[in-house]
Amino acid sequence: MTVPAEAARRRIVELFLSSEESLLRRWTQLSGASPDDLRDLYQALRTALSSDAGDFADVRGLLAELSRARVRQGHTPSDTARLVFSLKEALYEAAEADGGPEALRGFVWFSRLVDDLGLFTFETYTAARERIILDQAEQLLELSTPVVKLWEGIVAVPLVGTLDSARTQVVMEKLLQTLVDTGSEHAVIDITGVPAVDTQVAQHLLKTVVAARLMGAECVISGIRPQIAHTIVTLGIEFGDIVTKASLADALSYALRRSGVEITGAAKTRVAVRAERA
Amino acid sequence: MERVPILKLGDILIVSIQIDLDDQSVLALQEDLADRVVSTGARGVIIDITAVEIVDSFIGRMFSTIAAITRMLDAETVVVGMRPAVAITLVELGLSLGGVRTALNLEKGVAMLEHVRDGAG
């Protein structure tokens, strides 16, 4: 930093430090925030400015806290940033009263500092939001992919919601692991809850089926609604020799038959099931 | 180079892969297996890959090649015990192992071969 800039900086810091009461009063007036919050901030700023190292960690910590508290009170992040920015106006009045060119030049430096701090509150806000969104996405991923056992040797994955690569990966891994753990030879992937099937989703489904097949298990896709069947055919997606069923019930009865379980009796009234072999 | 042992159980040959396969051992295994199928007159081959954690496209193709070779010699090949991660890798590599039978574990593999034999005989 050049010598005049250094002098300007010292002058504005002096101004800032000397007129604590009036500055605080004006700042409170301009921002409409509680005087206690502002006093804490002011004191942290004063410590940071009077030390040579210029360590703003405390100020940033306070600002982050303030930003969080104000969001909880229903303020928008712009409000919080404006609160910080209004310190400039309060100090400008002090600088104007001083009138010296150094004070005004120093004010430019100070105003850049306040801008940074104001933007920091906004960043804190965004970071907090981002973290919440990430957490929720992760929770959603865990919640939405249960693998349920339908019968000895038959497991099902009821898929709900849109399939993307990340989710398919989780579903695939979970399903395959369950196949190993339970020694199941049949799996049903139910897509009743999948709103739309495009080429990408179909691709993901096919991959899962092929992977299960590689491990020695058979996969049935069920829950294909009429519109989805229509879309799949229109898109020209080939399911090849993969078994597809309209409903989970059909898929279950198919899997039961394949695993050697015989279903007897009138299906509509009562189902008696007898295992053919142990 | 390590050689993979081939065990005989009745008319089934069991190959349990416990080592990290390199290309040389894979080629040696293919030759050994073909020799053993002929010399023992085996009707089925089970390749147990429970311990295999890493596969590449070469090893992936090995399964298909072995299956094709043994089928020429009138023996069915079943690959058993594939780990989920391995299955996913093979799918991502675009290998669907057409013509290879698979089973979840050794027990189911043996049952599958017996089933095939009963059907044929």
pLDDT in tens, A230-268: 888 888 888 888 899 999 999 999 999 988 888 876 555
Chain B hits for A154, Cβ within 8 Å: none
Chain B residues whose C-beta is within 8 A of a chain A C-beta are 78-80, 82-88, 90-92, 96-97, 101-105, 108-109
The three-class DSSP label of residue A265 is: coil
**Which among B78, B87, B104 has CB closest to A211?**
B87
Q: First and final CA of chain B: distance in angstroms?
A: 40
The parts of chain A modelled with pLDDT lower than 50 are 1, 278
Query: Which run of H or E residues covers position B103?
Result: strand B101-103
The DSSP letter of residue B82 is -
- Six-digit token string for B91: 């799918």
Low-confidence ranges of chain B (pLDDT < 70): 119-121
Contacts of B101 in chain A (CB under 8 A): 216
pTM of the model: 0.65
Binary contact (A213, B96; C-beta < 8 A): yes
The pLDDT value given to residue A268: 58
CA-based nearest residue to A42, from A27, A30, A53, A64: A27
Interface pTM (ipTM) of the complex?
0.80
* pLDDT score at A278: 46
The single-letter code of the amino acid at B12 is: I
- Please give the interface size between A and B, counted as residue pairs whose CB atoms are below 8 Å apart: 59
Query: Choosing among B46, B104, B110, which should be mutated to test the A contact, i.e. which has the most A CBs within 10 A?
Result: B104
Task: Say which residue the tokens 């198919």 belong to.
Answer: A254
